[in-house]
Amino acid sequence: MAFKRSFVVRLAARVLLLLVTLSVASLLAAYQRAPTAMLLAVGLALFITIGLWRLVSESNADLARFVAALDRADLSQSFTWSGRGAGFDRLGAAYERVLARLREERTGGATAATFASALADGAPIPLLVIGPGNSLTLGNKAARQQFGRGTPTNIAALSMYGEGFVDLLRSARPGPSRLGRIVVDGLSQRVVIDTTLIELGGDARRIVAVKIIQAELDGAELAAQVDLVRVLTHEIMNSLTPVTSLAATAKQLLDALGATNHPAIGDAQLAVGALARRAGELEHFVETYKGFSEAPLLRREPIDIADWLSRTAAIHAATPNAIAPVTLDIMLGLPSLEGDVALLTQVLLNLLKNASEAVTDTPHPTIALTAELKPHGRIRIAVTDNGPGIPPHLSREVFLPFFTTKPHGSGIGLSFARQIVLLHGGQIEAGSGLPSRIEMVLPTIIE
C-alpha cells in the first residue's frame, strides 16, 4: 500500500507538472511572446513526458522480470534497488522477500527429497517400482543387490526367479500383504509383498516391497519342532521309565525260575524278555533324540571349501557303507565359508551315507558331490545320486523330526542336518524327481 500511494503521488505530480508546462507553452505560443521561454517550456514538457514513460516502463519491466523468474523457477534474480525512491525500494524488498521464501522452500524440499531418497535406498527390503505398464525400476540398493543381474527393465525379465514370482508381481495391488514363492540360488523360498500405488506425471506406478521370509519361517518352524521334541521326550521318558524298570524286574523274576516245562511260563519269559529289550531300545532312542532339542553351539572358523569337501569324501570312502565312489565337481576360486567344520562335516557325511543307501540296489551306482558359487554370493553344495529318488510329496517331510522312509531309520539324520544348516544361516532342500538330489546353500565370508 505504501508503494501504491508513493507511486500515485509521483505519477500525479508529474502529470500535473506536465499539464502546467504545456499550458504555459500554449499561452506563450498563442500570444507570441517570449519565444525563448516557450521553447524552455516545451523542452521541460518533453523531459517530463520521458520521465513519465520511464517511470511506468521500469515498473512494468521489473514486474515482468519478477513474473518471468517465478514462471521459470529462476530464484537467482535480484530486485535490490537503491536511489529510485522509497516506493521502488519497498517494492524491490517485497520481491526479494518472496524469492527468499521460495528459495527456502526449494531448499527444504530438496533436503526432504534427498532424505527420502537416502531412506528408501538404505532400506533393507528390496523396493520394485512397476509402471507405467509392466516396466520395472529397481528402487533401492537392496533391490539392485537382489535383482540387479542384467539390470531388468520389465517384469518378464525376472523369470529367473520363478514364473510364480513374476505372476505375483503382475497381480500386485494395494491391500493386505500377499504370500508367494521366489526361486533364489536354485531354492524355492517364501516371499511376502506389500504394494503402494502412486500417481506420477499422470501415470500410475506401483511400489512393491519384496521380503523373503523363508529364514524367519524356518527359524520359527525349527523352534516349534525343538519345543515339541522337548515336550514329547519328557513325557515319553516319564511314562517309559517305569515300564522299562518293571519289564526288567519281571524278566529277572521269570529268569530266576529257570527252565520249565510249563508252556505258559515259557511264553511269559519270552514275552517279558522281548518287552524288556524293546523298552530299553525305546529308552535309548528317546535319550538320543533329546539332544535334538538342544541347539549345539557353533565354533565358527574359516573353511576352505575344496579342501573340506575332498577330506569329507575321503572319510566317507573309508566307511563300510560306501557303495560307490564319490565324484567331486568343485568350482575353482570359491570363497571361504565361515562355520563349524565338525558339524558341517557330520551333515555332509549323513547326506553321503543316505546317498549310498539309496543306490544299494542300483546296477551302476553313482554319487556326485558338487559345489558352486551362486549369484548372490552364497555357496551351493549338492549331493546327487542315481537312486530311486524322493517322491515329490515327501520332499519337505523328510526333514521333519521322527520322519523316515527307511525300514530301520530313526528320523534323526536329515532333521539334524537341517538344524545345523539353519544355524549357519543357510537352507537345505530335497529335490524331487530324478536324479535324486539334496542341496544346501550356505553364506560365504564377506571379503
- pLDDT, tens only, 239-275: 767 777 777 777 777 777 666 666 677 777 777 777 7
Q: Which residue has the higher pLDDT, 383 or 87?
A: 383
- Tell me the pLDDT band of 57, cut-offs 50, 70 and 90: low
Q: Which residue has the higher pLDDT, 97 or 196?
A: 196
DSSP assignment, residue 154?
A: B
pLDDT at 93: 67
Q: Is the pLDDT of residue 3 over 50?
A: no
- Tell me the pLDDT band of 222, cut-offs 50, 70 and 90: confident
Q: Which range (183-192, 227-236, 420-429) has the least confidence?
A: 227-236
Q: Which residue has the higher pLDDT, 219 or 52?
A: 219
Query: Measured between alpha carbons, how far is residue 181 from residues 164, 304, 412, 430, 431 in Å?
Result: 7, 32, 28, 16, 16
Of 20-24, 90-94, 105-109, 307-311, the range with the highest mean pLDDT is 307-311
pLDDT at 275: 72
Q: Encode 17-37: b = buried (16+ Cβ within 10 Å), e = exposed.
A: bbeebbebbeebeeeeeeeee
The answer to whether residues 165 and 183 touch, using CB atoms and an 8 Å cutoff, is: yes
Mean pLDDT over each residue of the chain, to the nearest integer: 76
- Residues contacting residue 348 through CB under 8 Å, at least 6 positions apart: 309, 312, 369, 381, 383
The answer to whether residues 204 and 197 touch, using CB atoms and an 8 Å cutoff, is: yes
pLDDT at 437: 82
| Arithmetic mean of pLDDT, 108-123 | 71
| Arithmetic mean of pLDDT, 91-104 | 69
Q: Which residue has the higher pLDDT, 4 or 17?
A: 17
pLDDT at 408: 59
- Tell me the pLDDT band of 1, cut-offs 50, 70 and 90: very low
| Arithmetic mean of pLDDT, 319-340 | 86
Q: Is the pLDDT of residue 82 over 60?
A: no
- Tell me the pLDDT band of 209, cut-offs 50, 70 and 90: very high
pLDDT at 221: 75
pTM: 0.57
The answer to whether residues 193 and 209 touch, using CB atoms and an 8 Å cutoff, is: yes
Task: For the sheet with 178-184, list strands across it.
Answer: 136-138, 127-130, 203-212, 187-200, 178-184
- Tell me the pLDDT band of 194, cut-offs 50, 70 and 90: very high
Angle at 200 between CA 199 and CA 202, to 5 degrees: 80
Q: Which stretches does DSSP call E strand in 347-424?
A: 367-373, 378-385
Q: Which residue has the higher pLDDT, 286 or 223?
A: 223
pLDDT at 86: 45
Q: Which of 431, 400, 430 is nearest to 415 (CA)?
A: 400
* Distance, CA of 146 to chain centre: 7
pLDDT at 55: 63
- Tell me the pLDDT band of 56, cut-offs 50, 70 and 90: low
The answer to whether residues 2 and 32 touch, using CB atoms and an 8 Å cutoff, is: no
Cell of 3: 508503494
Cell of 316: 566317507
Q: Is the pLDDT of residue 33 over 70?
A: no
The answer to whether residues 237 and 284 touch, using CB atoms and an 8 Å cutoff, is: no
374-401 residue pLDDT tens: 877 788 999 998 888 777 777 777 777 6
Q: Which range (93-107, 153-167, 189-203, 412-426) has the least confidence?
A: 93-107
Q: Is the pLDDT of residue 2 over 50?
A: no
| Arithmetic mean of pLDDT, 332-342 | 88
Place of cell 556326485: 368
Q: Is the pLDDT of residue 62 over 80?
A: no
Query: How much is the CA Rg of the chain, to the nearest whole Å?
Result: 44
pLDDT at 447: 40
139-186 residue pLDDT tens: 888 888 888 877 788 888 888 888 999 999 998 899 899 999 988 877
pLDDT at 309: 92
Q: Where are the alpha helices (DSSP H) in 32-85?
A: 35-71
Q: Is the pLDDT of residue 446 over 50?
A: no
297-329 residue pLDDT tens: 788 889 899 999 998 888 888 887 777 888 999
pLDDT at 211: 92
Q: Which stretches does DSSP call E strand in 299-426?
A: 301-303, 326-330, 337-339, 367-373, 378-385
